[in-house]
Structure 1
Amino acid sequence: MAPDPRSAETTSPAGHGPRELTATRRLLTCGVVAGPVLLAVLLGQALWRPGFELGVHALSLLSRGEHGWTQIAAFVLTGLLVGAAGAGVRRAAPGTSGALAGWLVTAMGAGLVLAGAFVVDPGTGFPPGGPPPALELSWHGALHDVGTALALNAGVAAALVLAWYAARAGARAASAGSLLAAVAVAALAWWGGPGVPLRVTVAVTVLAAWLTAACLVLRRRLCTEGAGRGGPVGGSA
């Protein structure tokens, strides 16, 4: 997603000095680590907590039960990291499409925070011995669903916008990667057929991998800019 100097949409912001570059790299690093942290907690709990079966139980059900606080904290923490990454994207990818992509990434983070703050309603079979499935959607279950939908849909939209940004910059591989991620997540999350828990798990994995890759690309470009301007590029970020 390197910028095309001929396009006003993708030029570096004026006055992006060493301190600003360092701050932006740190914000983008939040996006680099957010996905791996969330997936590590999700998969770790899926393997560790008795009775949970990937592909059968929804990931959000990990927020319920005695150890549910772990998943709640993971949703909220990674949501804050993703929100910070959105600010980094806005700073690193100036122009209308870069700003839009950054705000969409921030919205994705807000969805994760919302999904963590409001626990999903009881489901079938997990946690063992837990309450039976809710007959009606509760207010906190509804807000949890809103957060989940916001995170997934904002992620799809952000990937599409960054695909456009990268295409205008002439970065075909980055553009194709973002486009494929958006199409894959949309197909997995929007299709109303069977296997919803498994498909959402795969969609979350793809979206997390995309965000990490996109933030790494933008961060690497900033490091190159910093080196060209004589600014700090190494461990200070």
Structure 2
Amino acid sequence: MATVTTTPTAVTTRTRTLLTAGAVAGPLYVVCWLSQALTREAFDLTRHPASLLANGDLGWIQTANFIVAGLLSLAGAVGLRRTLTGRGSRWAPRLLGAYAVGLLLAAAFPADPAAGFPAGTPADYAEISLRGMGHFVAGTIGFTGLIAACFVMAAHYRSTGRTGWARYSTITGIAFFAAFAGLSAGAGTPPTILAFGAAIILAWTWITATCFHHRR
């Protein structure tokens, strides 16, 4: 009987491809989000989170952005699982995978129109539909997974002597948790919206850096 053997080089190549997918998810997401934020009528970065872009005639663009980012992040989580050993090697990829699932669920359950977006929506409109509740659940799943992944990876890096990466992961987790909590407590005020947008960029930068680090 013939035996098919997978060489280490082939496995490494697949893993590098998966981690590359995870690394490019963030830049693609951020570019797509900010491009829409700066060009779509009535959208204001100080008043509207990225999720609201899934509304209106061009809402399909942000929905596609969620899907692509989710699938690429899921690939990155698989690649990370293949490279990690030791403390956190099982849970960190799973938690990053939970973030990816949250993105996919966000595409399935778009956020409700709010605060004057899309154009024509009353400025004080803030009703929550069933799909809006689904979006909230998606965000809770995804963001909780992301925050936890930062702390688990920080523990992993400390256990392997990479203190710089441990600090980076911890700071990212704390900053994102603070921004998410501030957004929830601040009811969408401009400072909390801007802080959360900055935290999204910080988190995606961490994911990209982490995937590239393990890709090497």
Are 1:160 and 2:151 matched, yes or no?
Answer: yes
Tell me the distance in 1 between the aligned counterparts of 2:7 and 2:30: 33
CA contact (8 A) 2:87 2:156 kept: no
Are 1:214 and 2:206 matched, yes or no?
Answer: no
CA contact (8 A) 1:55 1:201 kept: no
Are 1:88 and 2:79 matched, yes or no?
Answer: yes
Shift of 1:201: 1.1
Tell me the distance in 2 between the aligned counterparts of 1:133 and 1:181: 33
Shift of 1:96: 5.0
Describe the SS at the equivalent of 1:98.
coil
Match of 1:127 among 105, 112, 118: 118
Are 1:140 and 2:131 matched, yes or no?
Answer: yes
Query: Structure 1 stretches of 5 or more lacking a match?
Result: 1-14, 221-237
Tell me the distance in 2 between the aligned counterparts of 1:138 and 1:27: 36
Shift of 1:58: 1.9
Tell me the distance in 2 between the aligned counterparts of 1:96 and 1:168: 7
1:190-229 aligned within 5 A: 190-191=181-182, 192-193=185-186, 194=189, 195-220=191-216
Tell me the distance in 2 between the aligned counterparts of 1:164 and 1:96: 7
- Normalising by structure 1, report the TM-score: 0.82
CA contact (8 A) 2:15 2:82 kept: yes
Shift of 1:16: 7.9
Tell me the distance in 2 between the aligned counterparts of 1:99 and 1:31: 17
Can you list the C-alpha shifts for 1:158-183, whole angstroms capped at 9, x where unaligned? Answer: 01111111111111111111111111
The one-letter code sitting in structure 1 at the alignment partner of 2:21 is C
Shift of 1:117: 1.5
Describe the SS at the equivalent of 1:170.
coil
Shift of 1:149: 1.7
CA contact (8 A) 1:59 1:197 kept: no
Shift of 1:197: 2.1
Tell me the distance in 2 between the aligned counterparts of 1:77 and 1:117: 13
Shift of 1:138: 1.5
The one-letter code sitting in structure 2 at the alignment partner of 1:65 is G
Counting aligned pairs with the same residue, the percent is: 36
CA contact (8 A) 2:115 2:121 kept: no
Describe the SS at the equivalent of 1:32.
helix
Tell me the distance in 2 between the aligned counterparts of 1:171 and 1:94: 14
CA contact (8 A) 1:65 1:130 kept: no
- Say what the alpha-carbon RMSD is for the aligned residues: 1.6
Query: Structure 2 stretches of 5 or more lacking a match?
Result: 1-5
Can you list the C-alpha shifts for 1:168-227, whole angstroms capped at 9, x where unaligned? Answer: 11111111111111111111111323433222211211110000011111111xxxxxxx
1:167-182 aligned within 5 A: 167-182=158-173
The one-letter code sitting in structure 1 at the alignment partner of 2:76 is A
Taking CA–CA contacts closer than 8 Å with sequence separation of 6 or more, which of the two structures ends up with the larger relative contact order? 1
- Normalising by structure 2, report the TM-score: 0.90
CA contact (8 A) 1:33 1:212 kept: yes
CA contact (8 A) 1:111 1:148 kept: yes
Q: Structure 1 residues 214 and 16, CA, compared in 2 at 3 Å: closer, same or farther?
A: farther
Q: Indicate the residue corresponding to 2:97 in structure 1.
A: 106
CA contact (8 A) 1:31 1:82 kept: yes
Describe the SS at the equivalent of 1:97.
coil
